[in-house]
Amino acid sequence: MPDVEFYATADNWPELTTSTDMPSFRARMINTMLRLTVKPLWRPGLTVDGIRRHTARTDARLSRRRVDCATEPVTIAGVPAKWYGAPDLAGRNGTLLYLHGGAWCVHLPGMYGAFAAKLSAATGMRVLLVDYRLAPEHPFPAAIDDCLAVYRALVAGPTGRPRVIAGDSAGGNLSLVTLMQARDAQLPLPECAVLLSPATDISMSGPSIRYNAKADPMFSAGAGDLLPDLYGPGLERTLPLISPLHGDWSGLPPLYFLAGSTEMLLDDSVRAHDRALQAGTSSRIDVWPDMPHVFPLFPMVPEAKQAIRDIVAFIEEHARDMAALPQSAEPHARLDPALVSGGTEAEPANRGVL
């Protein structure tokens, strides 16, 4: 890996104008940083310890701000987790269950904590971030068991089932598996789900795995060779509990997929969206041109701010009896692409809606 350190934060990026027909300046910088520091990681001989060392450094650099949000560490059904947002939010607006990404083998608590706090502020919901067990120390089915156990406990608890389930990458995978298992167990389901670049098919059969191999700024073929075997060693990769793309998509709540056009995992979202529609499940997908994997988690990127507003609008649409959202998160007043412009760097509305 090149000896490159990247210390930009949300506070010290320059404010530049940009056109909405291309990624913002900040997004292009993030893509360059990822191409220099992350994509070269996926080489023969890479170990999970190497992945964890790199992600720990990344987490430290991207989460230097203290979370400005009430938090509460808890253990639910034997699984550690943390609430973000004041307790009264759960009674007023409900809860959002968030399952973090990290290839089933790493967690970035600072980065995901900041994102959970942002989701709580934007939606007015109390957000639960689950610290499920990680592979390879705890391979499949440990993670799905933890997530379903937490979901069951929430359903049986004082606030009832979460109104929203959300997750990114591996956490998007776990969110979909949790939904399918909850449906099969006849548990009450959330009102909607948000999936950010979910890994829905670890058999790596999507065409974008090949045609985006060079364009993806974060991953290369080596990631597909290493990560699935860490999570489910020796298992059939099309097993629906590992690859929900191959599961039953009927009877699920409305789904919202967000992905970048250059991701190797793009077709994991596109094909999942198609499977949902074919099964009669309401689904929407936004594909953002040239945006990296799980870009809404990068706070310095203006496209991430717009994506969060889109997420809020989707949640509000499917949770109609929510109390009034915070003034800073009124999505419908600001979602018109014609309004997304200004003298500083624009927050592009250049995504494709399928």
How far is the C-alpha of 120 from the C-alpha of 326, rounded, in Å?
10
Cis preceding-peptide flag for 80 (omega within 30 of 0): no
- Give whole-number Cα distances, 32 to 4, 35, 37, 60, in Å: 11, 5, 9, 19
Tally of CB atoms within 10 A around 258: 26
Q: Which pair of structure tokens corresponds to residue 77? A: 């059904």
Cis upstream peptide for 136 (omega within 30°) = yes
Is the distance from CB of 322 to CB of 352 less than 8 angstroms?
A: no
**353 CB-contact burial (10 Å; exposed 0-12 / middle 13-18 / buried 19+):** exposed
Q: From the candidates 175, 243, 263, 347, which is the catalytic residue?
A: 263
* Buried-exposed string 275-292: b where 16+ CB fall within 10 A, e elsewhere: bbbeeebebbbbbbbbbb
Place of tokens 């191959």: 246
Annotated catalytic residue within 24, 63, 120, 169: 169
Given 100, 273, 293, 318, the catalytic residue: 293
Answer whether 113's CB lies under 8 Å from 83's CB: no
In the DSSP assignment, the letter for residue 243 is: -
- Residue 20 to residue 64: CA distance in whole angstroms: 29
Residue 285 host element (H or E): strand 283-288
Q: Is 263 a catalytic residue?
A: yes
Phi, psi of 95 (to 5 degrees): -120, 155
Mapped onto helix, strand or coil, the DSSP state of residue 231 is: helix
Contacts of 338 (CB under 8 A, 6+ apart): none
83 in Cβ contact with 130 (< 8 Å) = no
Closest by Cα among 324, 347, 328 to 337: 347
Active site residue 169: yes
Strand, helix or coil at 312? helix
So which residues are the catalytic ones? 169, 263, 293
